[in-house]
Structure 1
Amino acid sequence: MSPVTAVTIWHLEQPSASVLPGEPVPAPAGLDLAVVRAEAIGPEFARFLYTAVGGVWNWTDRLGWSHADWEKWLAVEGTETWVAWVGGSPAGYVQLAPHDEGVVEVVYFGLLPAFIGRGLGGHLLDLGLRRAWDLAERHPALPATRKVIVETCSLDGPAALRNYHARGFALARTETVDKLVGEAPGPWPGSGFSLG
Structure 2
Amino acid sequence: MDTMNPPLPLGYSAVPAGKLANVVTCLEMLTKPAPKPVRAEDAALRLERWTDADLGEYRALFRAIGEDWMWLSRLVMPDEELRAILHDPAVEVYTVRDGDRRVGLMELDLRKDGECELVFFGLVPDAIGQGAGRIMMNAAIDNAWAKPIRRFWVHTCHFDHPGAVGFYQRSGFKPYAFLVEVIDDPRLTGEMRADASPHVPLILPR
* Structure-2-length-normalised TM-score: 0.77
- Give the one of 140, 143, 152 matched to 2:156: 152
Contact 1:97–1:105 at 8 Å: present in 2 too? yes
Moved more, 172-181 or 120-129: 172-181
Q: Which residue number corresponds to residue 109 of structure 1?
A: 121
How many Å apart are 1:27 and its aligned residue?
A: 4.4
CA gap 1:63/1:40 in 2 versus in 1, 3 angstroms: closer
Q: Percent identity?
A: 23
Q: Which residue number corresponds to residue 69 of structure 1?
A: 81
Considering only aligned residues, what root-mean-square deviation do their CA atoms show, in Å? 2.6
How many Å apart are 1:167 and its aligned residue?
A: 1.2
How many Å apart are 1:66 and its aligned residue?
A: 2.7
CA gap 1:30/1:174 in 2 versus in 1, 3 angstroms: closer
CA gap 1:61/1:71 in 2 versus in 1, 3 angstroms: same
CA gap 1:101/1:51 in 2 versus in 1, 3 angstroms: same
Q: Which residue number corresponds to residue 9 of structure 1?
A: 24
Q: What letter matches 2:20 in structure 1?
A: T
- Give the one of 48, 52, 58 matched to 2:60: 48
- Quote the Cα distance in structure 1 between the aligned partners of 2:123 and 2:188: 16
**What is the aligned length?**
183
1:71-104 deviation digits (Å, cap 9, x = unpaired): 1111222201111001221110110111322101
Moved more, 155-164 or 174-183: 174-183
CA gap 1:159/1:101 in 2 versus in 1, 3 angstroms: same
Contact 2:144–2:152 at 8 Å: present in 1 too? yes
Contact 2:186–2:192 at 8 Å: present in 1 too? no
Q: Which residue number corresponds to residue 173 of structure 1?
A: 177
- Give the one of 150, 160, 168 matched to 1:164: 168
Moved more, 35-44 or 103-112: 35-44
Q: Based on CA coordinates, which of the two structures has the bigger radius of gyration?
A: 2
CA gap 1:184/1:31 in 2 versus in 1, 3 angstroms: farther
Contact 1:184–1:192 at 8 Å: present in 2 too? no
How many Å apart are 1:162 and its aligned residue?
A: 0.4
Q: Which runs of 5+ in 1 are unaligned?
A: 137-143
- Quote the Cα distance in structure 2 between the aligned partners of 1:124 and 1:28: 15
CA gap 1:8/1:189 in 2 versus in 1, 3 angstroms: closer
Q: Which residue number corresponds to residue 190 of structure 1?
A: 193
Would you say 1:125 and 2:129 are equivalent positions?
A: no
